[in-house]
Amino acid sequence: MKKFVWFLTLILVFTLVSSACGALPGGQSSGKFRVAVVMPSAINDLAFSQSMYDALVRVQGDMGGTDKFELVYSENMFVVDDAAAAIRDYATQGFDLVIAHGSQYGSSLQEIAPDFPETSFAWGTTVDTFGLPNVFAYEAASQEGGYVNGVLAATLSTSNVIGVVGPIETGDAKLYVDGFKAGVTATNPDIQVNVNYIGSFSDVALASEAATTHISAGADVLTGTAQMVVGAIGKAEENDVLWFGTQSNQTSLAPSIVVASQVYHWEGILKEMIALIQGGTLGGKSFKAGLANGGEVIEFNPDYALPDEAKTLAETTIAGIKDGSITITLP
Amino acid sequence: MISELFSVTVLIGILASGIRLATPYLYAAIGETFGQRSGVLNLGVEGQMLLGAFAAFYVALTTGNLWLGVFTAMIVGAAMGLAMAYVTVNLHAEQGISGIGFFLFGLGMSDLLFQKLLGTVETVKGFPKIHIAGLSDIPGIGEIFFRQNLLVYGAYLLVPIAWFVLNKTTLGLKIRSVGENPDAADSLGVSVARIRYFTLILGGTLSGIAGASLSIALLNVFQQNMTSGLGFIAVALVYFGAWRPIGVLGGALFFSMINSLQLWIQVLGIPVPSDIAVMMPYVLTILVLVATVSRVRAPSALTKPFEREN
């Protein structure tokens, strides 16, 4: 019995100490802006997660470095339950802004956000804030960069066959692929665009084989979206077939064949959110990154000798999308 | 559009893709076959493959020596197999649970090493395709079978060797008897522990090569969790192949061919929703398994720790 009482006391003391430690950071949030982000893949995936991490690091630099802007992250949170626990932990620790960077985290956030009315949450990619006053939503108009890539791809293809390697036919990936197809068709309706969704965001081997299949079917230009495309880029390089990237700049993987990449620059949206939070508005607004507001940028590979007329065409297309003279009709 | 599926280009494409896709499954599943025939279920294959893939990639990237990469992957896989053997043979741990533990260790460790040592996705120059004079130039057949890299050939060579070792050698007899009736084997002087150590280390070594075949021969990149469930499919293929190397070969080829067929179905624009197409290899494999499952039974001592009765 005595042993049991000792044991119980020990547990109580331990709980008290640990909860006290947990509560400390919450009280001293003044002065420094504190951001936490939860991401489904790695911060260096050359795709979705990296685009957000890189943007946050740039915002940190612009806002005065680590003294003014604290940034913590949880990566590889592909299990939604784990992600939900991390989001709740960060909210408990009193972060000013907790970003749930993945559309799969939506229902978790909908449950968690009302418990922390003082904390601002951001969720993407989506337009839905659940009508909650402390949730921001953000998404990328990835069809815009997809369209520009498609226009360029159609100009550069000589076999008139273009291949696309996609993950799962939904969300951001579907927007990009549909925009790409629209761009190709608008430039040259005779070109055949073969699309292949491999059903996975991580199966590098199948993505690679999908690229090989496209090449066997006659494609001389390829594109693809999500982090498993590194396998497809390798096959494109091996067969000297052109590649168009999206989400992050993929030039480093195959400098000889990457023509251009659509890169997400979330920092504009992030800065707007932070300004709103500092002004007392914690959510209720949805943001869209596009070419017009600098949320998406087409980054050309300087080592690829893009013909001048193609470059000019790309630039007029970008300008057209920005000023609204080009509208992209999605199926 | 459907008729395009039967054109020569497409058929050659499907067969050549299928042969490549089956390669990592073959190494991993043949290794697993040895383990299971001796009575140990190793669910850590995926983890062994991931660490093998990273080790091979990192060594090939830093030294430029591909064979050293393969060798390192073998050592890493063997070490994982040795650890698994200690846990299951000496500590009598529940095999399914400890296997999952080794999978998670490999997943996390390969990720950590990748973050610390590389930091970003890079590419390496892997094993080139081998051109065999004469054979590679045969129309069709040459393209399907004889324009692959060395590790692909190795995987197919492994099948008859594994068959021979399991069925025609004393070692194979010992492995099988330890898996069927460890008490009898033990009473005849066969060391159950030594045999299981051997099969698990061999299995780990082959899983390491399976990882290397991805990272420095077929894909030439390393990314976190790049095997994405491949190791678990390899374990399933051992059941599918009824614990025989030839059966495993059949299963690996069947699964991979259906997978490359569904890639072509989408590329040719045949109106099948992509979600249905990517399900095909799994659904068809399960159907075949259901249709043939009563043929053979598993090794009797599979998943049972061995304890000598006094």
Optimal mutation site among A48, A213, A222, A251, interface B, most CBs of chain B within 10 A: A213
The CA distance from A241 to A216, in Å, is 11
pLDDT over 90, % of chain A:
76
pLDDT at A19: 44
What strands, in cross-sheet order, belong to the sheet with A296-300? A192-197, A161-166, A221-224, A242-247, A258-264, A296-300
Q: In angstroms, what separates the C-alpha of B269 from chain A's closest C-alpha?
A: 7
- Chain B interface includes A36 (CB < 8 A): no
Minimal-distance CA residue of chain A relative to B122: A253
Q: What is the overall mean pLDDT for chain A?
A: 89
Q: Give A-chain residues touching B9 at CB under 8 angstroms.
A: 216-217
Predicted TM-score (pTM) of the model is 0.85
Q: Tell me whether the omega of the peptide bond preceding residue A125 falls within 30 degrees of 0, making it cis.
A: yes
pLDDT at residue A301 is higher than 80? yes
DSSP A89-116: HHHHTT-SEEEEESGGGHHHHHHHGGG-
pLDDT at A136: 95
The CA distance from B262 to B270, in Å, is 10
pLDDT at A11: 56
Range of the domain at B222: 24-239
Section B228-256 average pLDDT: 94
State the ipTM, two decimals: 0.87
For residue A9, the surrounding DSSP H or E stretch is helix A2-27
- Sequence-separated (6 or more) residues with CB below 8 Å from residue A241: A215, A219, A220, A221, A222, A235, A257
- A205 and B21 within 8 Å at the Cβ level: the answer is yes
Whether A179 and A166 have beta carbons less than 8 Å apart is answered as no
Q: In angstroms, what separates the C-alpha of A87 from chain B's closest C-alpha?
A: 21
pLDDT at residue A16 is higher than 50? no
Section B206-215 average pLDDT: 97
Q: Residue B186 corresponds to which tokens in the numbers above?
A: 């033990």
- Between A55 and A29, the higher pLDDT residue: A55
- A254 and B123 within 8 Å at the Cβ level: the answer is yes
Domain assignment present for B12? no
Written as one letter, the residue type at A77 is: M
Give the tens place of pLDDT for each residue, B92-123.
999 999 999 999 999 999 999 998 999 888 88
Give the tens place of pLDDT for each residue, A32-77.
999 999 998 888 888 889 999 999 999 999 998 899 999 999 998 8
| Radius of gyration of the CA atoms of chain A, in A | 23
Q: What is the CA angle B240-B241-B242, rounded to 5? A: 90
pLDDT class of A7 with cuts at 50, 70, 90 = low
Whether B243 and B36 have beta carbons less than 8 Å apart is answered as yes
The CA distance from A220 to A100, in Å, is 38
Optimal mutation site among B1, B27, B148, B219, interface A, most CBs of chain A within 10 A: B219
Whether B72 and B128 have beta carbons less than 8 Å apart is answered as no
CA distances B216 to A165, B65, B192, Å, are 22, 10, 36
pLDDT at B244: 94
- Chain B interface includes A216 (CB < 8 A): yes
Minimal-distance CA residue of chain B relative to A197: B274
Q: Give A-chain residues touching B221 at CB under 8 angstroms.
A: 204, 230-231, 234, 253
The CA distance from A21 to A19, in Å, is 5
- Chain B interface includes A289 (CB < 8 A): no
Q: Give A-chain residues touching B13 at CB under 8 angstroms.
A: 212-213, 216-217
Minimal-distance CA residue of chain B relative to A199: B278
What strands, in cross-sheet order, belong to the sheet with A33-38? A69-74, A33-38, A97-101, A120-124, A135-140, A286-289
pLDDT at A6: 58
- Chain A interface includes B187 (CB < 8 A): no
The CA distance from A240 to A310, in Å, is 19
The CA distance from A223 to A183, in Å, is 13
In order of their start, the domains of chain A are: 2-141+266-289 (3.40.50.2300), 142-263+296-323 (3.40.50.2300)
DSSP A17-68: HHHHHHHHHHHT-SSSEEEEEE-SS-TTSSSHHHHHHHHHHHHHHHTTSTTT
> Any idea which residue has 């099988």 for tokens?
B176
Domain assignment present for B225? yes
Domain assignment present for B265? no
Domain assignment present for B272? no
Domain assignment present for B248? no
pLDDT at residue B69 is higher than 50? yes
- A76 and B224 within 8 Å at the Cβ level: the answer is yes
Give the residues across from A165 on adjacent strands.
Answer: A196, A224
Q: Residue A282 corresponds to which tokens in the numbers above?
A: 């914690």
pLDDT class of A4 with cuts at 50, 70, 90 = low
Give the tens place of pLDDT for each residue, A176-200.
999 999 999 999 999 999 999 999 8
Q: Give B-chain residues touching A166 at CB under 8 angstroms.
A: 274
Pairing verdict, β A296-300 and A97-101: unpaired
The answer to which of A87-101, A245-259, B207-221, B275-289 has the lowest mean pLDDT is B275-289
Domain assignment present for B158? yes
pLDDT at residue A14 is higher than 70? no
- A216 and B9 within 8 Å at the Cβ level: the answer is yes
| SS3 state of residue A217 | coil
Section A226-234 average pLDDT: 91
pLDDT at residue A159 is higher than 60? yes
Task: Give chain B's domain count.
Answer: 1
Give the tens place of pLDDT for each residue, B155-176.
999 999 999 999 999 999 999 9
CB pairs under 8 A between A and B: 119
pLDDT at A277: 95
Domain assignment present for B287? no
Q: How many CA atoms lie within 13 A of A33 on its CB side?
A: 22
- Sequence-separated (6 or more) residues with CB below 8 Å from residue B88: B40, B95, B98, B196, B200, B305
Domain assignment present for B212? yes
The CA distance from A95 to A37, in Å, is 10
The answer to which of A309-323, B173-187, B282-296 has the lowest mean pLDDT is B282-296
Q: Residue B246 corresponds to which tokens in the numbers above?
A: 């030839």
Q: Torsion-angle region of residue B98: left (phi > 0), alpha (psi -120 to 50) or beta? A: alpha
pLDDT class of A113 with cuts at 50, 70, 90 = very high
